[in-house]
Structure 1
């Protein structure tokens, strides 16, 4: 923590001590947008004032009317893979990839990052349980990062070794979120078997024969076996106090079965019926921010815009593109800015029990970003736990 500057208010003789003061901002609070100032001390927001604010601090930021909002909370971002493998089969060391991802996420306003690490036996797509374990260890052991980095263990339940690996991660208290996914041809995202074959041939570089073998292997798994594997993950997560999500839910019946097994979050429901059933059952629903920013799903699934219109989108996820998470709350959905910002801050924080952050209010953790929304949203300042960690103001 840098040395604090003390200033004296001559009107009453009291001494004001703040680490950071942001003045003249459009402050996005949980309920409204107000013009005013925010003071930060010892990692916490200690004052949110409208109008004039006669105070100073070690770091003083004149917002000049730009938007001050909580740091973004990304529950599912797999962009670390792009940093680890800039090209297929051309890997860099995990610490270098993590440092690069850290800076990229901070510049996109993400101050709490859940890396969606794929526990999937798919070397052709640069994924394996061993690589996932290496990434987990790199994130846990790195103490020089700007953002708060956490593990979201994505478990491909069609791969038996991945069940064991994710259980180990949970037993070691290494994950803050876990999700179950099953890329089975004929179901979910790949309910069209030809889409499954096309995806694994083009994106995972499988031959026609290899893709056909994978199709045969996965469709041979019974519902009973898949259910047993889900139960193992949920049990391990419950023992570790970790929230569990599902991935690409397709039907209300499927959602009901997952809810019965203890799933808390429905990520990327691919039909409106599934999203609505998840909401009815009290599950938390999360959709892709790139889906909203791009104007639809690349797979022809449920559009995030439609999910928002039908009130079944509690949170948005960066998925593969962190800048979309910053852009998403500035997409006009006919709602207030506070409501839109909550989907990328307060709501995801609450879903995983991080109630200390994701909101601009006194007492909250001071994860804050100052955003210039025009012509496209960019972050000019970022604070993490009260510390200024990023500054990129354009000349004015």
Structure 2
């Protein structure tokens, strides 16, 4: 597909350092241009904003495995994911795939299938899809050869997390929902409980294993993040291993420690939209107000980045330019993507075009190519 060559007029455009202004925007060859290009399109009544960069989302699970056993058309599932991403103004998306003891769609075998499917459809999608591996740190038997497998899967970003219910396991008690979790993993509930207990029992071996794994991944140039940091000490331990991204810190203490050290802080857009964490952790709105956020991610809900940015602006906590940075140039900096995130000559023509009255996504362009368009705006482009 050849990128569009257009001169967009009449719209309010969010330019770096200027906020919204009624100005012309030129795109050609997949990038923003400094001079007029192609034919003119009147976008009066619309806002043209930098495309959303979603740096952590696992909302794609329902597309690739809509129900247990329905996992046969992985590539078709990824194409369906892209359609939802584009409809929500997302032009670059990190697909966060688990490598977990939870099994099923979060199991190690399934992870490899997902990464292979992403590679297989890259030439068929417009949205830039970036794979992320979320590795459960207590899976000690899976460490050997993992860094090489990650490189083979073409995964540039790894997040390390521990979702074992340690408090319960330390008491010898079964965690809630164990039976349902076991069935999803294809295990007998008693065998599943024994697996959790065995990983918990070997927890003292994990730090040394992580030291080796992280050093290998850093040497391979792979970006590393930690998930749900709870304390300043936890964040410091991750930083010593070269893990410079703090995803969804659970406490003010952890977020402040990350900020003080210059680490990147990612918060969840649903936390903003809901007005707080569904798990009772630190409020994203409060952390943003204190300057403790570099970027917002969709987490589990793709409409949330756009909604969160608009809510932050409407509330007056941030102006629109700063709020939108949380879902565009902020994520670009975290991911080291210097070619996108702002509408400036030479940058990728990644655009989220919103209806100025409803703020709904009317069209999305990624690299100057249309990934989504709906309603009356189509006539503007076609006429």
TM-score (norm 1): 0.85
Q: Residues 43 and 193 (structure 1 numbering): CA distance in 2 closer, same or farther, change over 3 Å?
A: farther
**Distance in 2 (alpha carbons) for counterparts of 1:388 and 1:218:** 47
**1:140 and 2:111 matched:** no
CA drift of 1:370 comes to 0.4
Change (3 A) 1:192 1:150: farther
**1:362 equivalenced with 2:345 (yes/no):** yes
| CA RMSD after TM alignment | 2.7
SS in 2 for 1:256: helix
- Measured after TM superposition, the shift of residue 91 of structure 1 is 2.4
Structure 1 residue 241, shift from structure 2 partner = 1.3
Answer whether contact 2:250 2:282 (CA < 8 A) is retained. Answer: yes
- Normalised to the residue count of structure 2, the TM-score between the two structures is 0.88
Corresponding residue pairs, total: 370
Q: 2:198 aligns with which of 204, 209, 217?
A: 217
CA deviation string 1:322-379 (max 9, x = no partner):
111121110134211111111111111111210100111111111111012654x421
Equivalent position SS for 1:91: coil
Q: Does 1:253 align with 2:233?
A: yes
Kept after mapping to 1: 8 A contact 2:11/2:46? yes
Distance change >3 Å, CA 393–CA 98, structure 1 → 2: same
Paired with 1:191 and 1:255, the residues of 2 have a C-alpha distance of 24
Tell me if 1:393 matches 2:375. Answer: yes
User: Runs of 5+ in structure 2 lacking a partner?
Assistant: none
Which protein is richer in helix relative to its size?
2
Change (3 A) 1:86 1:197: same
Q: Could you say what secondary structure the match of 2:175 adopts?
A: helix
Report deviation, 1:391.
1.1
* Distance change >3 Å, CA 329–CA 373, structure 1 → 2: farther
Shift in Å, 1:191: 11
Contact 1:231 1:261 in 2 (8 A): yes
> Distance between the aligned counterparts of 1:192 and 1:252, measured in 2?
23
Matched, 1:197 2:179: no
The 8 Å contact of residues 169 and 175 in structure 1, kept in 2 or not, is answered as no
**In structure 1, how many angstroms separate the alpha carbons of the residues matched to 2:357 and 2:69?**
38
2:136 aligned with 1:128: no
> Which is worse superposed, 199-208 or 125-134?
199-208
Tell me what 1:37 maps to: 24
* Pair 1:384–1:218, CA change in 2 (3 A): same
Instruction: Provide the C-alpha distance between the structure 2 equivalents of 1:238 and 1:370, rounded to a whole number of angstroms.
Output: 37
1:211 and 1:227 map into 2 onto residues whose CA distance is 24
Structure possessing the higher relative contact order (Cα contacts under 8 Å, 6 or more residues apart): 2
Report the Cα distance in structure 2 between the residues aligned to 1:325 and 1:362, rounded to whole angstroms: 25
* Deviation for aligned residue 1:171: 3.1
CA positional deviation for 1:153 = 1.2
Task: Report the CA distance between 1:279 and its aligned residue.
Answer: 0.7
Unaligned runs of 5+ in 1: 5-18, 49-54
Query: Alpha-carbon deviation of 1:305?
Result: 0.9
Q: 1:331 to 1:81 in 2, by over 3 A?
A: same
Structure 2 counterparts to residues 13-32 of structure 1, below 5 A: 19-31=5-17, 32=19
Could you tell me whether the CA contact under 8 Å between 1:155 and 1:166 is conserved in 2?
no
CA–CA separation in structure 2 for the residues paired with 1:2 and 1:214: 52
Offset of residue 208 of structure 1: 6.1
